[in-house]
Amino acid sequence: MLIAQDPHHQLVNASQAGRQIPYICPGCQGPVRLKRGSVVTAHFAHFQGSDCQVFSEGETHEHVTGKQQLAAWFAASGYSVQLEAGLTALHQRPDLLVQTDVTPPLAIEFQCSPLSVTRLAARTQGYWRHGYQVLWILGQPYQRKLRSTSKALKFLQYHPHWGVHLLFWQVETASLQLLHHILTLDAEPLTYQRWSLKSARQPVAAFQQFQPIVSNPTPPEEHLEHYHRQLLLARLRHQHAFDDLQRYCYQRGGTIAQLPDWTIPRVPELPLLTVPYLVWYGHVFGQLRQEPTVITHERLQALLWAELQPLLVRQACLRDQGTLHRQLLLAVTARLDQQHVIRRRGRDWTLNQAALKWERPKF
């Protein structure tokens, strides 16, 4: 940790602390020692055996150095900066609390250690409830190649200009990296666009005002063939999601291999599901088969939402999830229309029964 209390109960920054003075932890009130040298970044550390819960994590060299770099960057950009500020009402201490005269307080968490979704959600919602914005920035342990199973995805955030995104801080270069417009397509790697900024060259405003030119990712030409191959492998390996979908199809007189082509995802979508998008589309197919030929728009949306809701992954850092969920419903409605599964009829929809039949097995 970067701050501690001196004998006069004043908070002292480790970089300015005297060596012969006893210090205590602001959280547990236990003794701490100053560590500072030519190699080690100045910080306070608990003695061995401490059971402090407030400052129990994040005392790696990367975490300490990253916090100081971020603090210096925001301070140089005109922000008032508090390191490890104690927010009494929340019982939380963000790594940084920054603010200007015209902006609300922003809590910055530089996360280098493991954190469960439950705890992440509790901390994030604690900030929101008390009027704080929060920015989660990830350290080296989360910066491995981004995959659909990456632990970094629990930190997904949303911005109108950047879509669903992640933020990383690289201590070696004191630079911020933004992975924006992160999307997923079944059986293909995640797609995203990358932008980076060196804190020594550009102020915080350059990051906040960044508006990328978005390029729409296109799936490879062999996607359909590749997808069928992946489906076959998934069945052979008895992957849970596909086993469940296969049972769903069996109960309705078909198999995964007989699902119509329009159920196979061809366009990258938001990474918000716990399962492949084929599962959602397959369930929509199964439910539409039970509907009358003409259904109201409200009924269609209710059906789509009923099949989507159980498949959504728990997102701890996405504040307005309803907006993103509505985007998914609009996208799948447009997809059904474009694939001639449904057709507008005034305020209602007409179902194309030919598109709701099981097809010949494809693999």
Mean pLDDT score of the chain, rounded to an integer?
A: 90
Give the pLDDT confidence of 73-111 residue by residue, as tens digits.
999 999 999 988 888 788 888 999 999 988 889 999 999
Report the percentage of the chain scoring pLDDT > 70. Answer: 95
* 3 state SS of 10: coil
Q: Which residue has the higher pLDDT, 227 or 120?
A: 120
Three-state DSSP at 273 gives strand
Reply yes or no on whether the pLDDT at 10 is more than 90: no
pLDDT reported for residue 27: 67
Helix (H) or strand (E) holding 281: helix 277-288
| Percentage of the chain lying above the pLDDT 90 cut | 65
pLDDT tens-digit map of 47-69:
887 777 656 544 688 998 899 89
* pLDDT tens column, 299-356: 999 999 999 999 999 999 999 899 999 999 999 999 999 999 999 999 999 999 999 9
SS3 content of the chain, % helix, strand, coil (to 5): 35, 25, 45
Q: What is the pLDDT of residue 110?
A: 97
Domain architecture of the chain: domains with CATH: 57-208 (3.40.1350.10), 223-356 (no CATH)
pLDDT tens sequence across 160-176: 999 999 999 999 999 99
Number of CB atoms found within 10 A of residue 94's CB: 24
User: Would you state the pLDDT for residue 90?
Assistant: 82
Burial class (CB in 10 A: 0-12, 13-18, 19+), 52: middle
On the question of pLDDT at 236 being above 60, the answer is no
Residue 57, pLDDT score = 47
pLDDT of residue 58: 44
- Residue 235 has a pLDDT of 65
